Chains A and B, each alone.
Chain A
Amino acid sequence: MDILNHILSALPLIFSIDVIIAMIIGTAVGITVGALPGLSATMGIAVLIPLTFSMEPLVALGMVAGIYNGAMYGGSIPAILLRIPGTPAGIATVFDGYPMAQKGQAPLALKISLISSAIGSAVSAIALLALAPPLAAIALKFSPADYFWLALFGMTTIAVLLSSNPVKGLLSTCLGLVVGIVGIDAMTGAERFAFGSMDLLSGINIIVLLTGLFAIPPAIDLAVQHLSQQKEAPIDNKKASIRWRPFIPVWIKSSIMGVVIGIIPALGGNIAAVLAWNEQRRSDPDNDQYGKGEPKGVAAPECANNADTAATLIPALTLGIPGSAVAAVILGALLVHGLRPGPQLFRDDPEIVFGFMLTMFVTAILMFVIGRVGARAFVHVLKAPTMLLAPMIIALAVVGIYSIHNSMFEVWLMLFFGLLGYGMERLNIPTAPAVLAVILGPMAEESLRRALLISGGSFDYLVQSWISWIIIAMTAVTLIVPMWKRFRRLKPSRGDQE
């Protein structure tokens, strides 16, 4: 009942004129960003956050929701027309989308993609609204010790699962922990890693790190690549009709897969899309048509990758544990607006958090409307010259960061993180664990200190509750399973050599 009351009280807020405009702009920008190969939802949100600094929280979050949902659909446009997924989540759309376009069915493929994406996003938003509040209520019972283990679980999971080499993932986590330490220690007042600099005393703003790590490397990539020279598939103007009824089971199955995969940390939309496409092909008796332009082969991945979006936010909003880079960036957006992710968010700011979840649903519908109305315009986005876009992204990131505190120091810091992030990407070191550690590191440290204060300095308190033990077991499994898999993979290759 409480959930319904909160939804009803948030409804008038999200239908205010400024939130609606923000959602429309966000969705259009999201589709555009997603349609540009090399740019992702993470990058789009990272660049946008500084611009939303002076906005009301719900206006900013409405825009973020629009970008997130829109980018997931936008990624399918170049996947269908150019055989290049605009975002990693669009990878499976290529399999049947591009063959459809080559047969002259590009408008139909884009329409199937749009409808499937909108359905996936809507189901995901409903799952978020239904699952997040009860999970947050459970999380309110967590002790500081449980929170300490939870933060540790979040950091290790992402570090180990996001990288093919856990050592590199954990090194990225250490970088984030160090960045989170910089400044005055809130509990003791001691200066840490500030080196006497006044600019570092108040710590490193998470937005500076986010923009640097997620906006600058794609800009450099755009400057280096020649993506706009790809050959576009022909677009036939004739209207194609299709029966939608056979798509219903595809949407149901793919939505469920997307939601479940979204909740699991470190999997993400690309995995949801590939698994949904594979499952669709496996379960269809007419499966030899897949990969040759089967419309259901477009519906399944697009529905699944969009069903992943809001579901990813379930652990992020309820526990403060982002399961992906984009969820970490969205948590950054919440922090910028003075909202601390976690169960207390549902208690302290229910209108904002329920409003944000509702905007995820509304933007799913907006995405369908904007996608239909602006279909032609979004296709033209593919012609945008990347050599012109790259310096524009730098200019936008610079003014966005400068406008936070009118500080050139932060602009330099952002560029430093940008170059560092680019270097990390070249060395196959994932950047998401660093961002996660900036958020979770202070949470882990504060929870540990509070736990020790409560217990009078005894470490036994850390392993007294059953919740702590469950989280410790999950952390151990997360660390051991990939190592075991690596070991198993190595074994036959040794045998082969012998």
Chain B
Amino acid sequence: MPRPLIELICALLVSGLCIAGFVEATKYMGPSGYLPKAVMLLALLLSLIWALQSVLWLRKSESESTADSASLSRIAVFTGASLAYVVTIPFIGYFTTTLVFIPAVSSALGYRKRRILLGAPIIFVLALYILFSLILQVQLPDEPLLQLIGIR
């Protein structure tokens, strides 16, 4: 997809959000509503100018190359894995999930040195465990798998 078209879609999306935000801001009475309304109107105006700029750019038809498919697939793998990581944390715990997440993502991205792939996450998680659980005593989600082997 050409870059100006992507920008046009984003600008229109922002405009829509600004209109929704302005409608919401009209519910705020008195001085509480001044800033939200002003910001939403300004943002609406700016997004419309952005949309206009994108249309003019589109008409010049000098389409700039967007990210290649290899980069896009790496972004998708990384963001998808990160979202899955956060979803999983409350169920199997932070340390267990991190121990799986780091080598899985690294190997999915193409890292192949096995010793580092397995060793580095263990050292990293151990450092985090010492810092957060032992020193800062942060209450992190339960670790049922680590509890099974008697670690937590």
Residues of A within 8 A of B (CB): 51, 54, 165, 167-168, 170-171, 174-175, 177-178, 181, 185, 187-188, 190, 192-193, 219-220, 223-224, 385, 387-388, 390-392, 394-396, 398-399, 402-403, 406, 408, 411-412, 415, 419, 423, 426-427, 441, 445, 449
Contact between A391 and B31, CB atoms less than 8 A apart? no
Residue of A nearest to B10 (CB): A427
Q: A174-B46, A392-B124, A427-B10 are in contact. List 15 more A-B contacts (CB 8 A).
A: A51-B136, A167-B53, A174-B42, A178-B40, A187-B32, A192-B28, A220-B78, A220-B79, A224-B74, A391-B81, A391-B105, A395-B98, A399-B94, A406-B139, A427-B6
Tell me the complex Cα distance, A187–B30, Å.
11
**Chain B: minimal CB distance from A10 (Å):** 26
- A190 and B46 contact, Cβ closer than 8 Å, known pairs A388-B120, A392-B102: no
Residue of B nearest to A187 (CB): B31
Which residues of B95-119 are within 8 A (CB) of A?
Answer: 98, 101-102, 105-106, 109-111, 113, 116-117
Tell me the complex Cα distance, A220–B86, Å.
16
Contact between B21 and A167, CB atoms less than 8 A apart? no
Can you spell out 14 A-B residue pairs with CB atoms less than 8 angstroms apart? Answer: A51-B131, A167-B53, A170-B46, A171-B14, A171-B46, A181-B39, A188-B31, A192-B28, A223-B77, A223-B78, A388-B116, A388-B120, A395-B101, A395-B124
When distances are taken between beta carbons in the complex, the residues of chain A under 8 Å from B82 are 391, 394, 415
Q: Is the interface of B mostly helix, strand, loop or mixed?
A: helix
Query: Taking the complex as formed, is B128 at the interface, i.e. its CB lies under 8 A from any CB of chain A?
Result: yes
Contact between A181 and B35, CB atoms less than 8 A apart? yes
Contact between A190 and B79, CB atoms less than 8 A apart? no
Query: Taking the complex as formed, is B5 at the interface, i.e. its CB lies under 8 A from any CB of chain A?
Result: no
Tell me the complex Cα distance, A167–B98, Å.
40
Residue of B nearest to A388 (CB): B106
When distances are taken between beta carbons in the complex, the residues of chain B under 8 Å from A178 are 21, 36, 39-40, 43
Tell me the complex Cα distance, A419–B109, Å.
19
- A411 and B120 contact, Cβ closer than 8 Å, known pairs A192-B32, A388-B111: no
Residue of B nearest to A394 (CB): B82
Contact between A188 and B89, CB atoms less than 8 A apart? no
Contact of B106 among A170, A193, A387, A415 (CB under 8 A): A387
When distances are taken between beta carbons in the complex, the residues of chain B under 8 Å from A192 are 25, 28, 32, 36
Tell me the complex Cα distance, A394–B82, Å.
7
When distances are taken between beta carbons in the complex, the residues of chain B under 8 Å from A51 are 131, 136
Between B6, B24, B46, B124, the greatest number of chain A beta carbons within 10 A of the residue's beta carbon is seen for: B46
Tell me the complex Cα distance, A104–B140, Å.
50
Tell me the complex Cα distance, A423–B120, Å.
30
When distances are taken between beta carbons in the complex, the residues of chain B under 8 Å from A423 are 10
Query: Taking the complex as formed, is B29 at the interface, i.e. its CB lies under 8 A from any CB of chain A?
Result: yes
Tell me the complex Cα distance, A117–B78, Å.
36
Tell me the complex Cα distance, A185–B77, Å.
40
Interface residue tally for chain B (C-beta within 8 Å): 58
Residue of A nearest to B83 (CB): A415
Which residues of B2-51 are within 8 A (CB) of A?
Answer: 6-7, 10, 14, 21, 24-25, 28-32, 35-36, 39-40, 42-43, 46-47, 49-50
When distances are taken between beta carbons in the complex, the residues of chain A under 8 Å from B98 are 395
Residue of A nearest to B136 (CB): A54
**Chain B: minimal CB distance from A385 (Å):** 6
When distances are taken between beta carbons in the complex, the residues of chain B under 8 Å from A395 are 85, 98, 101-102, 124, 128
Contact between B42 and A390, CB atoms less than 8 A apart? no
When distances are taken between beta carbons in the complex, the residues of chain B under 8 Å from A411 are 86, 89
Tell me the complex Cα distance, A188–B98, Å.
43
When distances are taken between beta carbons in the complex, the residues of chain B under 8 Å from A181 are 35-36, 39
**Chain B: minimal CB distance from A153 (Å):** 16
Tell me the complex Cα distance, A385–B10, Å.
34
Residue of A nearest to B39 (CB): A177
Contact between B75 and A223, CB atoms less than 8 A apart? yes
Contact between B128 and A171, CB atoms less than 8 A apart? no
Between A185, A187, A219, A441, the greatest number of chain B beta carbons within 10 A of the residue's beta carbon is seen for: A185
Contact between B140 and A167, CB atoms less than 8 A apart? no
When distances are taken between beta carbons in the complex, the residues of chain B under 8 Å from A399 are 94, 128, 132, 138, 140
Tell me the complex Cα distance, A394–B102, Å.
9
When distances are taken between beta carbons in the complex, the residues of chain B under 8 Å from A426 are 67
When distances are taken between beta carbons in the complex, the residues of chain A under 8 Å from B67 are 426
Tell me the complex Cα distance, A417–B148, Å.
36
When distances are taken between beta carbons in the complex, the residues of chain B under 8 Å from A403 are 132, 136, 138, 140
Between A224, A388, A396, A406, the greatest number of chain B beta carbons within 10 A of the residue's beta carbon is seen for: A388
Query: Taking the complex as formed, is B144 at the interface, i.e. its CB lies under 8 A from any CB of chain A?
Result: no
Tell me the complex Cα distance, A219–B85, Å.
15
